[in-house]
Amino acid sequence: MTLGGKVAIVTGGARGLGAAVSRGLAERGANVIVNYAHSRAEAEATAQHLRECGTDAVAVRGDVSVDADCRSIAAAAIARWGRIDILINNAATTTRMAAHDDLDALQAEDFLVAYRTNVIGVYQMIRACRPHMKAQGYGAVVNISSVGALRGTGTSVSYAASKGALNTMTLALARALGPEIRVNAVAPGFMATRWFSDALGQEGLDDLIQRQQAATPLKRAGTAEDVARTVIFLADEGALHNTGAILVSDAGFQLGPKAAPLPPMKTVSKAERPS
């Protein structure tokens, strides 16, 4: 119970990675705001599960792209528990592209939608929580990025670009908000969540899992729980010496395939070596 009595806000906490992080925080004793924009029933179910874990939790509606909603989410935590210790910026949106070279598939509005939630929404949530964290002399922010920001991959160019901007903002705010507030990011790789099964069907998801397992040095296809452990590490006291870190959690996928072994080489005598 390393987070006993702490208060956490998890944006987009109703399902997928957000729900897994919410559960992990509650299991360690934290009280949790489960934020949602649309998935009320799932958010309420997640909050109920957290209460059954023995901590307090409440589902709070709010669209992080709207500044007033961000302030309301923070105010809900203060009204209920009087403090905010941890902010997990998980809420995100994307536009799917079949191919990144189909430049007509994205319009300016697609970029604006992605940036409003994935970048500006994160900034607004940090701004709303900052006074309370600063006043108590402690706060931990973990932004959920993506390996797509590092590789230029993912569901769309606009999504990858927005997560790249989020990485840069993580560095800027880590520098600006210390020493009281730590700001870090996690860049997940593939996670076998419902988002993929909804998009691909179960058969398509199973095939993707197999391909991910074959492509990673650890021979693993990630789950939301795998990545949640990394997120919680950065939120917890084990990472008190970390700020401005962007921690990749992808079973080594970003390393690429193993290097091919070199062919046999003859031994070169000293006399044959170039000077």
> SS3 for the chain, per residue?
CCCCCCEEEECCCCCHHHHHHHHHHHHCCCEEEEEECCCHHHHHHHHHHHHHCCCCEEEEECCCCCHHHHHHHHHHHHHHHCCCCEEEECCCCCCCCCCCCCHHHCCHHHHHHHHHHHHHHHHHHHHHHHHHHHHHCCEEEEEECCCHHHHCCCCCHHHHHHHHHHHHHHHHHHHHHCCCEEEEEEEECCCCCHHHHHHHHHHHHHHHHHHHHHHCCCCCCCCHHHHHHHHHHHHCHHHCCCCCCEEEECCCHHHCCCCCCCCCCCCCCHHHCCC
Predicted pLDDT of residue 200: 73
Least confident range from 80-84, 152-156, 242-246: namely 152-156
- Please compute the mean of the pLDDT values over residues 29-44 and round it to a whole number: 97
* Domain spans of the chain, in order of start: 7-272
pLDDT above 90 (res 82) = yes
- pLDDT tens for 219-241 read 988 899 999 999 999 999 899 99
- Please compute the mean of the pLDDT values over residues 80-97 and round it to a whole number: 94
pLDDT above 70 (res 270) = no
Active site residue 36: no
**Structure confidence at residue 212 as a pLDDT band (50, 70, 90):** confident
Cβ burial of 155 (10 Å; 0-12, 13-18, 19+) is: middle
170 vs 200, higher pLDDT: 170
- Which of 36, 123, 138, 159 does the annotation list as catalytic? 159
274 vs 236, higher pLDDT: 236
pLDDT above 90 (res 266) = no
- pLDDT tens for 109-140 read 999 999 999 999 999 999 999 999 999 999 99
pLDDT above 60 (res 208) = yes
275 vs 140, higher pLDDT: 140
Predicted pLDDT of residue 258: 72
Average pLDDT, the chain: 92
Does CATH number 3.40.50.720 belong to domain 7-272? yes
Predicted pLDDT of residue 110: 95
Predicted pLDDT of residue 183: 98
pLDDT above 90 (res 103) = yes
Place of tokens 């430049």: 103
Helices 157-177, 108-115: crossing angle, 10 deg rounding: 30
Per cent of the chain over pLDDT 70 is 95
Distances (CA, A) of 5 to 30, 56, 57, 102, 117: 6, 10, 12, 50, 29
pLDDT above 80 (res 264) = no
Least confident range from 6-10, 42-46, 76-80, 258-262: namely 258-262
pTM (two decimals): 0.91
